[in-house]
Amino acid sequence: MQFLKNSLIVLLALLVITSGCARKPSLIMGDYFIIVKNGTPQCSIVIPENCIPSVKYASEELQKFIKEMSGAELPIITDSSPVQSKEIILGKSKRLEKIDYKIDWENLGEEGYNLLVTKDNIIIAGGEPRGTLYGVYGILDDHLGCRWFTPTVSRIPKMDTIALPAMNEIFIPPLEYREPFTMDGFIDGDWCARNRANGNTCRLEEKHGGKITYYGFVHTFDSLVPPEKYFDTHPEYFSMVDGKRIKERTQLCCTNEEVIQLVIEEVKKRMREHPEAKVFSVSQNDWGNFCQCPKCSELATAEDSQMGPLLYLVNSVARAVRDEFPDKVIDTLAYQWSRKPPKTMRPEPNVIIRLCSIECCFAHPFESCVSKQNRDFVKDVEGWSQICNRLWVWDYVTSFSHYLVPFPNLEVRAPNIRFFVKHNVTGIFEQDTYTTFHGEFNELSAYLNAKLLWDPNYDDKLAISEFVDAFYEDAGPYIMEYLKLIHKPIQKRELHMNIWVGPNGKHITPEMLKQAEIIFDKAENAVADKPEVLERVKVARLSIDYTIMERARKRDMDLKMKNEDPTMIPRAKRFFEIAERNNVTQYRESNGSIADYKKIIEEWLGTTL
C-alpha cells in the first residue's frame, strides 16, 4: 500500500484524524513546526541532563524513526546546552521554565502526556516513568502513521519533509493496566512499548519505563499457606467441604484469624523482598471447594455471595499492609464461585478486584448477547462497578482446548473493551494463546488487543485491515475474505461460543471449510514468489488443516473406523512440517504438546509422518 509519500496534504489529513479517549482535540492555529525539510534536520531533540532511562530511550526512538522515515538524523542534546532556534523538548526539562506553558504533572499520572506544538517548539511532557515515551509514540503512531504490527513487521512511512501543525493535545490512558497476553506479542519488549502495553508478562525493561509488575500473578492460596506445611497440624486452616476439612484441591478458610495473620505475614515478606512489584495476589486456587465451615457459610449467606468470606480475608490483608506499603495493592479474583458482588461489603481502596469472564459466550459482545451467561456477567460487571475502587478484568480471546480452531471473536473485542471502560474498569488482561507461538491469528490478535487497550475508541476495523495488508501483503484480500467467512455464522444471536469450543463447534460447517480451502489456495498463489509472506499464509492455514483433521478423526473414533480418506496423510504431513518449522509447540493449553499430538494423528492414520 502506498502511504504518505512526500505529501504534506496527505500528512495533514492524517493529523486531523486523531482517535482518542480522554484526548483533547488538536488546535489547528495556522503555524507548523518543521521537523525535517527536504531530507535535512530542522531541529534538535532536547532531554533533561539527568533524565530517567525511559526519557533517554524516548529521544533515541524518536531519532531512530524520524531517520527511517526521512533519512535525516536529528541531534540529541541535553537541556544544559545552549537553546537552539527549533527544539523538540522531552520530559521534565529545564527548558520548560522559559516557556509560558503550565503542565499539570499530577494529572498526567505515570503514563499520560501533554503534546504541545508551536512554530518554535514541540513539547512532549509525560508523567513518569512512561508518559514521555508514550508521547513520542503518540507523535509517531497517531500523527505520522508509524505502525508496529509485530516484532518483525512494521510500516514506517517515507517522506522527505515532516511537519506538524500547531496543536495542544493531552492523552491520559483510560486503562492503567493493559496486557495483551499472547506469546507472539509479549515476548518482545520494544513491540510492547511501541504499542503501549504495560502488562506483567511484557518483556519491558527500565528503558521502556518498566511495567505493572505482579508478585504471585494468580491462584496464590496454596503458596501463601501451603497445605503440605500446615494441614497435618492445622486442618482448620483449610476448606471444610461436606463437613470435612480437605487437603487436596483445597482453599483457605478465609475467616480463620490465624490464617489471616499467616497471609498478612507472608504478603509483607513478599513486599519487602520484591520492591519492584506493585500488585500482590491473594487469590483463590483454580478450582472449587470453597470453605463451608459455619463462620464462612454465615458470611457468604449474609452477603449472598461466596465473595463475602474471600473479601473478609483480602480486606484484612489490605488494611494490615497499607501503612507500611502505601504504593502497593492487593489483587484478588472475582472468579466462578466468587464472581458475584457482595451485598454490603466493599473492597478496601488498596484492593483490586479482577473480574473474570470465563463462563461467557465470546461470539457476541457481552452487553448485547442473549445468552444467560452473558446477561449474568453484565449484571456482575454493573454491580462491581458501583462498589469497587479499582476494578480490573480478566478476559479470554481464544479456545483453550483447541488453540488452532477458528475462533471468530475479533469483532467483539472493541465493544467489549468499551463496555468495560464505560463501567469503571481500569485494567484489562486479555488471555490469548500464551504457551506457544502462532495460535490462530495470534499476531493479529495481539496487535488488535494492544491498540484497543491503549485507546478503546480506536477504529478496530482499521487496525485489522492495516495489519492484514502489511502482514500478508498481496494475500491480504484473501485473508480478509477468510475472516469475513468465519465471522459470518456467529451473527446469529442463538449461536454461542465458549472458550473450550472445538473443531465440531456449531459455527464451523463443511461448506465453510471447503470455501476456506479455496480461499487459502488463492492466498498462497498470490504470494508464491515471496517466501516469507507465503510462510505466514501457511501458518494461518494451520487452523483449517487442524479442524479438518480433527473432525475426521473424531468421526472415525465415534464410528470405530479407520481412516479411508487418502487426502489426510498429505494434509497431516503439511500440517506438522509447517507447525514444527514455525515453533508451534502446543495445540491446547494443558497437556497439549504438538509432538504428542503428532503421535495421536500417526496412530489414527496408521503411518509415520
Query: 53 phi and psi, to 5 degrees?
Result: -55, -35
Q: What pLDDT digit, counting tens, does each position of 88-117 carry?
A: 999 999 999 888 788 999 999 999 999 999
Q: What pLDDT digit, counting tens, does each position of 201-222 carry?
A: 999 999 999 999 999 999 999 9
How far apart CA 542 and CA 605 sit, in angstroms, is 18
| pLDDT band with cut points at 50, 70 and 90 for residue 492 | confident
The whole-number average pLDDT for the span 374-382 is: 98
- Does residue 466 carry a pLDDT above 60? yes
| 138 grid coordinates | 503518540
| 264 grid coordinates | 498478612
The per-residue pLDDT for 494 is 86
Closest to 354 (Cα-Cα) out of 444, 248, 463, 280: 280
How far are the Cα atoms of 24, 69, 80, 125 from residue 32, in angstroms, in the given order? 19, 19, 26, 19
| pLDDT band with cut points at 50, 70 and 90 for residue 14 | very low
Report the percentage of the chain scoring pLDDT > 90: 92
Check residue 145 and give left, alpha or beta (phi > 0: left; psi -120 to 50: alpha). left
Beta-carbon count within 10 A of 408 CB: 23
Instruction: Decide if 341 contacts 384 (C-beta within 8 A).
Output: yes
Burial class of residue 370 (count of CB atoms within 10 Å of its CB; 0-12, 13-18, 19+): exposed
How far apart CA 199 and CA 179 sit, in angstroms, is 4
How far apart CA 220 and CA 263 sit, in angstroms, is 10
Q: What pLDDT digit, counting tens, does each position of 292-350 carry?
A: 999 999 999 999 999 999 999 999 999 999 999 999 999 999 999 999 999 999 999 99
DSSP letter assigned to residue 114? E
> Coil, strand or helix: which one is 113?
strand
The per-residue pLDDT for 5 is 36
Beta-sheet pairing, 32-37 with 40-41: antiparallel
- Does residue 392 carry a pLDDT above 60? yes
Q: pTM for this structure?
A: 0.93
- Does residue 18 carry a pLDDT above 80? no
Beta-carbon count within 10 A of 83 CB: 11
- Does residue 11 carry a pLDDT above 70? no
Average pLDDT of every residue of the chain: 94
The per-residue pLDDT for 71 is 98
The per-residue pLDDT for 98 is 84
How far apart CA 552 and CA 563 sit, in angstroms, is 8
End-to-end CA distance of the chain: 40
The whole-number average pLDDT for the span 427-433 is: 97
More confident residue, 116 or 14: 116
Measured at the CA of 457, the angle between CA 452 and CA 459, to 5 degrees, comes to 75
- Does residue 499 carry a pLDDT above 50? yes
Closest to 537 (Cα-Cα) out of 595, 569, 576, 578: 578
Q: Where is 572: in which H helix or E strand?
A: helix 568-581
The per-residue pLDDT for 491 is 87
- Does residue 3 carry a pLDDT above 60? no
The per-residue pLDDT for 30 is 55
Instruction: Decide if 254 contacts 312 (C-beta within 8 A).
Output: yes
How far apart CA 580 and CA 459 sit, in angstroms, is 35
- Does residue 25 carry a pLDDT above 60? no
Place of cell 459466550: 361
Q: What is the DSSP string of 508-535?
A: --HHHHHHHHHHHHHHHHHTTT-HHHHH
How far apart CA 596 and CA 540 sit, in angstroms, is 21
Q: What pLDDT digit, counting tens, does each position of 500-547 carry?
A: 999 999 999 999 999 999 999 999 999 999 999 999 999 999 999 999
